[in-house]
Amino acid sequence: MFRDSSIIRWRAYKDRYMLEGYECSSCGKKYFESKGMCPCGSIEFNEIEFSGVGKIVSFTQIHSGPEAFSEQGKYCVAIIDLAEGARITAQIVDCKFEDLAIGTNVEAVFRKFYKSGEKGAIHYGTKFVPKF
């Protein structure tokens, strides 16, 4: 369910704005979302900043998205393997769906997510574009 809240968005600034994630201090595995425990058994994690480059693992096109995204028309969403090893789902912009492929190199950009109506806050975060 799509929840439109400035506060929820504000709590996610670190990962949505900066692509900050976590690295297991024992085995070095990297995660975009925080984990209670790594499969290696460690519960210790260090905060890291991802470089923002990666490859598309899978992708699709959304023809009828949430109302807040209606200004964008149809848009592309992909699962991306970041260069450091973590996996993320994000919008791919500045490209045509037909030009995307599994393995396309992408890089992170800072873009508008949506606006909360005419008077509400503007929400920003990380999307990806094909590397050029």
Partner 1 sequence: MAGIIGYGAYIPKYRVSAEEIAAVQEANANAIKRGLGLTEKSVPGKDEDTITIATHAARDALARAGINKKDIGAIYVGSESHPYAVKPSSAIVAEAIGIGNDYTAVDTEFACKAGSATIQINAGLVDSKMVKYGVSIGADTSQAEPGNALEYSAAAGGAAFIIGSNKESLAIIDKTVSFTSDTPDFWRRSMQAYPSHAGRFTGEPAYFKHVIGATKLLLEKTKTKIEDYTYVVFHMPNGKFPRAVAKIFKVTEEQLVPGLVVEKIGNTYSGSSLLGLAAVLDIAKPGDKILMTSYGSGSGSDSFALTVTEKITEAQGKARTTQDYIDRKEYLSYAKYLKHMETIH
Contacts of 16 (CB under 8 A, 6+ apart): 9, 124, 125, 126
Contact status: 72 vs partner 1 (CB under 8 A) = yes
**Can you tell me which of 13, 27, 67, 102 binds partner 1, judged by CB under 8 A?**
13
Contact status: 17 vs partner 1 (CB under 8 A) = yes
Quote the least distance from Cβ 35 to partner 1, whole Å. 22
From CA 123, how far away is CA 101, in angstroms rounded? Answer: 28
Helices (H), the chain: 6-11, 13-18
Contact status: 98 vs partner 1 (CB under 8 A) = no
- The site for partner 1, by CB under 8 A, has a size of 19
Task: Please check whether residue 37 is in contact with residue 26, taking contact to mean a CB–CB distance below 8 angstroms.
Answer: no
Per CB under 8 A, residues contacting partner 1 are 13, 17-18, 49, 71-73, 93-94, 109-113, 121-122, 124, 127, 132
